[in-house]
């Protein structure tokens, strides 16, 4: 009989799948759905997280120009 030991809690994982994707693919729901990524039951590890807030801000924001505002005012 052989006994294996590991100090890491994840050593009991028999099967793992590693998928590397850009932040915007993972964090934007419609992009995730379009790519067929289902995060249910997943462990997500984010590397370079110092960029995370900027990425989330860009994903979920829009830029409106002065010209667009002017056209809106004229139409409504």
For residue 25, the enclosing domain spans 14-62
Per the model's pLDDT, the better-predicted residue between 36 and 3 turns out to be 36
Residue 68 lies in a domain: no
Residue 39 lies in a domain: yes
The pTM of this model reads: 0.52
Residue 66: pLDDT over 80: yes
Residue 4 lies in a domain: no
Q: Give me the number of domains the chain comprises.
A: 1
**26 CB contacts (<8 Å, ≥6 apart)?**
32, 37, 39, 44
Residue 2 lies in a domain: no
Residue 33: pLDDT over 60: yes
Residue 19 lies in a domain: yes
Q: What is the pLDDT of residues 10-28, one digit of tens each?
A: 555 556 678 788 877 888 8
Distance CA 60, CA 25 (A): 12
pLDDT at 32: 87
- Phi then psi for 47, rounded to 5 degrees? -95, 155
Is the CB of residue 4 less than 8 Å from the CB of residue 10?
no
69: enclosing H helix or E strand: helix 66-75
CA 47 to chain CA centroid, nearest Å: 11
Rg (CA), the chain: 21
Q: What is the pLDDT of residues 39-60, one digit of tens each?
A: 888 888 888 778 888 888 887 7
């Amino acid at each position: 009989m052989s006994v294996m030991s590991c100090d890491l809690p994840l050593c009991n994982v028999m099967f793992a799948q590693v998928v590397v994707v850009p932040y915007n693919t993972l964090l934007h729901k419609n992009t995730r759905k379009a790519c067929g990524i289902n995060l249910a039951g997943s462990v997500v590890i984010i590397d370079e997280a110092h960029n995370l807030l900027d990425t989330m801000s860009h994903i979920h924001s829009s830029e409106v120009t002065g010209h667009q505002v002017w056209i809106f005012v004229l139409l409504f």
